[in-house]
Chains A and B, each alone.
Chain A
Amino acid sequence: MNSTDDLLVIDGVTKAYPGVVANSNVSFRIRKGEVHALLGENGAGKSTLVKTIYGLVTPDKGTMVLDGQPYAPPEPSAARQAGVAMVFQHFSLFDALTVAENIALGMETPPKRRVLARQIREVSEAYGLPLSPNRRVGDLSAGERQRVEIVRCLLQNPRLLIMDEPTSVLTPQEVEILFRTLRQLSAEGTAILYISHKLDEIRALCDTATILRHGQVVGDCVPRDTSARDMAEMMVAAKLDTPVKHPGAPGAEIFSVNGLSLPAASQFGTALKEIGFSVAKGEILGIGGVAGNGQDELFAVLSGETRTAPDSVTFEGQAVGRLGPHERRVLGILSAPEERLGHAAAPDMSLTDNALMTAALRMRLAPGGWIDWRRVREYAEHVIKAFDVRTPGPGTAAGALSGGNLQKFVVGREVLQNPGLLIVNQPTWGVDAAAAAHIRKALIKLAEGGAALIVISQDLDELMEISDRITAICDGRMVRPRPAQGLTMNDLGLMLGGRDPEEEAAA
């Protein structure tokens, strides 16, 4: 391989944090104009590595060479000057400002507003990312917000563009647009370092892949020639078994939502409009949708955190709309929210405390209000064991666990309470492949045992894998649920856009 083709050479980069080595002697090279995937489980050290490249983290050891020059950015502005740009997983945009104002804020020396607006238009058109500079970011969809971030990077003419989980908030159609843009950039000579969990995307987009495990490079491959399964197994160093859903005869209807409308709670919230659906015993209903289309609002209505008119939500024939989360738990309606830290769990409290949080009632951990700490600890240990939560013990603070382990704990805490209905929002968000398979298997088993499940997820593969029926939420409206069997990705894309594939076909 000709070394002058190399854009960035990373050699022996090591970074240790107290108690954990995030990167250990990591070496690999990115060639000019290639799309290079960085693969690994959560906690494998991908984030630390890209932060090192972007100047947010100073490595303890090791060197980097960018285009023949020694490269050790002390801060992100130095990285940007050297031609390295990054689009973060979580956007850093101000809702109340316009697109142009947001982009100007990220620049060291922003040009005049009019010049900048023209540049934004030019760049966005050149790369097929339509974007109006004068629109307020608060009014944009997640996909459009990501365009703002990408255009902000492209205005710097980067030689290397780092993208951290860029497709997690996009519809399949938007993913296609993004990929076209990335391929165009690559053809023009910009290298792209692409981080994702979605192996099929990596196979479709990337030229090479470097795989990290426990902070070390454990291999590389050409994604086009490697199956998704092989890549996943390289990441976790174990054989994976994909959970299989056995579709049984649908049971009796147990839970329904009827004609539910709810105004937006805040300026940037989503109003729910005329939502109605039902779930049967033993059934998993998947609710897809792009982030910010009303999933959080819907979850709060289902869990009881937001109360509604009594008969807009019914469970076993009983109107439960006015009942709070505690009263719903009495009936057997349990829920696990998306945000692990601060919502599903209290980060600074121990796992024992967190077990008590939602299991006190059904597991009789506090008879008469007096906490039986021995039983609480036993239940926490039970969850840890049954769901293979990697932690020193139940006394560990929830915030000290990795995302995947905490998610296993949160889901396990609800599943083991033997719910009649379980509502889960993003069950495997940011969770590595092995943990995700474990969680999905547990959900399927729960449904096979007769419980009804509502799974809200942005991961379409996940929905296809576990759901009996699938619906989608778009701008606070829900499309008609359809059997998962026989749905195509194209159908799903239409549903995420709020359209009914059957009606489209008929039209």
Chain B
Amino acid sequence: MIRLERRPAPSKSWTYLAPLLAVLATMIAGAIMFALLGKDPFLAIKTIFWDPIFSPQFGSYSRPQLLIKAGPLILIAIGLSLGFRAGIWNIGAEGQYIMGALAGAGLALALYPMELPILLPLMVIAGALGGWAWAMIPGLLRTMFNTNEILVSLLLVYVAEQILSAAAVGFLRNPEGGGFPGSRNLQGYPSAHNAEIIANSGIHWGVVAALIAVIAAYVLLQRHVLGFHIKLAGEAPRAAKLAGVNPARLILFCMGVSGTLAGMAGLFEVAGPAGKISIDFGAGYGFTAIIVAFLGRLHPVGILLAGLLMALTYIGGELAQLMLSLPAAAIQAFQGMLLFFLLAFDVFSHYRLRIATGRAA
């Protein structure tokens, strides 16, 4: 008989071991899946995990892509992790990402073609406000009417997507675009372009912002009372109340920070790698960031590593689709396995496995 027995205190070593084992188990289960699909499993795993960085053929293209993809994932996930630590579940980062992009890009398009040195910083502020405002809707509804922030924030993603397509075909459409949907390309608007800081490195201001967010979140959680209260609220809500934490204020703070960072991520994307508002601008970063946050143990450094790993599976996955003609759904299933195994191995940080021998009936 196999039983789970609660540990008196969470195991430190399992906390670090679980993500590594999850990656390993994902590789094994993924290899089996790829084999069942009739592909060479070793080649598929190598294409996903190795080739994007080390292949002489693709590396020069995919290495910068790694940072371009990881930047928004890390930025959004850092914001989400604060709320998740406190037991506040913002599932709608995708919507806040879109609204941030719309707000920031909208500002630039309204001023086009005026060249203004501080335009990009202004756009960042507009993007942050856009994401913040979108996140405040579930936050305020939660604190005022006790609605469920999971549902409200998630459903607002679909509202944001509708606004996005309305913008792309309507009020933000490029007047010189010959009637095609999509806005002007901000890459052609020097004041508004979030260009690479070092050419061909993939490092744009969004990547820098992600790194700053990692450091700031680390300091907040380790050294500041507010970070301590966030952790306390997640561990023991009643104890947090006794410690003097105001639950409503904490909800608004966590929703606000995650919305702000998601909005900034959207702005950096639309002003940089994506270049324009288009119907398919929302690429799922906001949802993938949830996986990144948990894969990174809701710890800033963990999220940094998890964001890079997740970006790797994206780029490697695209490469595998291209080179081995693996179906896109197989890659998504592969990414889903990662979260699945992580949550499964996570059980062992709080429980130990007991295998009863002999006398148990």
B227 and chain A: residue at smallest CB distance: A371
B242 x A399 contact (CB < 8 A): no
B242 x A347 contact (CB < 8 A): no
| Distance of B22 from chain A, by nearest CB (Å) | 21
Q: Chain B residues near A396 (CB, 8 Å)?
A: 9
B246 x A324 contact (CB < 8 A): yes
A343 x B235 contact (CB < 8 A): no
Roughly how many angstroms separate A75 CA and B9 CA in the complex, as a whole number? 27
Roughly how many angstroms separate A75 CA and B356 CA in the complex, as a whole number? 15
A325 x B241 contact (CB < 8 A): yes
- Given A58-B360, A348-B10, A397-B10, A357-B241 contact (CB < 8 Å): no
B10 and chain A: residue at smallest CB distance: A348
Query: Is A74 part of the contact surface with B, judged by Cβ < 8 Å?
Result: yes
Query: Is A346 part of the contact surface with B, judged by Cβ < 8 Å?
Result: yes
Roughly how many angstroms separate A301 CA and B139 CA in the complex, as a whole number? 27
B239 x A342 contact (CB < 8 A): yes
A74 x B8 contact (CB < 8 A): no
Instruction: Give the residue of A75, A326, A353, A399 whose beta carbon is less than 8 angstroms from that of B228.
Output: A353
- Given A349-B235, A366-B225, A371-B228, A399-B8 contact (CB < 8 Å): yes
| Distance of A463 from chain B, by nearest CB (Å) | 24
Query: Is A100 part of the contact surface with B, judged by Cβ < 8 Å?
Result: no
| Distance of B10 from chain A, by nearest CB (Å) | 6
Roughly how many angstroms separate A347 CA and B244 CA in the complex, as a whole number? 18
- Given A335-B242, A357-B243, A397-B360 contact (CB < 8 Å): no
B239 x A346 contact (CB < 8 A): yes
> Of residues 388 to 402 in A, which have CB atoms within 8 Å of B's CB atoms?
396-397, 399-400
Query: Is B144 part of the contact surface with A, judged by Cβ < 8 Å?
Result: no
> Of residues 335 to 361 in B, which have CB atoms within 8 Å of A's CB atoms?
352, 356, 359-361
What interface size band does chain B fall in? 20 to 34
What string of 1s and 0s marks CB contacts (under 8 Å) between A330-349 and chain B?
A: 00000101010111111111
What interface size band does chain A fall in? 35 or more
Question: Which interface residue of B9, B10, B244, B361 has the most chain A CB atoms within 10 A?
Answer: B244
> Of residues 240 to 280 in B, which have CB atoms within 8 Å of A's CB atoms?
241-244, 246
What string of 1s and 0s marks CB contacts (under 8 Å) between A315-337 and chain B?
A: 00000000011110100000101
B224 x A370 contact (CB < 8 A): yes
Using a CB–CB cutoff of 8 Å, the interface residues on chain A facing chain B are 18-19, 58, 74-75, 303, 305, 324-327, 329, 335, 337, 339, 341-349, 353, 356-358, 360, 366, 369-371, 373, 396-397, 399-400
Beyond A18-B352, A325-B242, A325-B244, list 17 extra A-B contacts (CB 8 Å).
A305-B241, A305-B242, A324-B244, A343-B236, A343-B239, A345-B236, A345-B239, A348-B9, A349-B236, A358-B243, A360-B225, A366-B224, A370-B224, A371-B223, A371-B228, A397-B10, A399-B8
What are 9 residue pairs bridging A and B, where the CB atoms are less than 8 Å apart in the complex? A18-B352, A326-B244, A347-B236, A348-B10, A353-B231, A353-B232, A366-B225, A370-B223, A397-B8
Q: Give the top 10 A-B pairs by smallest Cβ distance, nearest first.
A: A326-B244, A397-B9, A74-B361, A346-B236, A400-B8, A346-B235, A343-B238, A400-B9, A342-B236, A325-B244
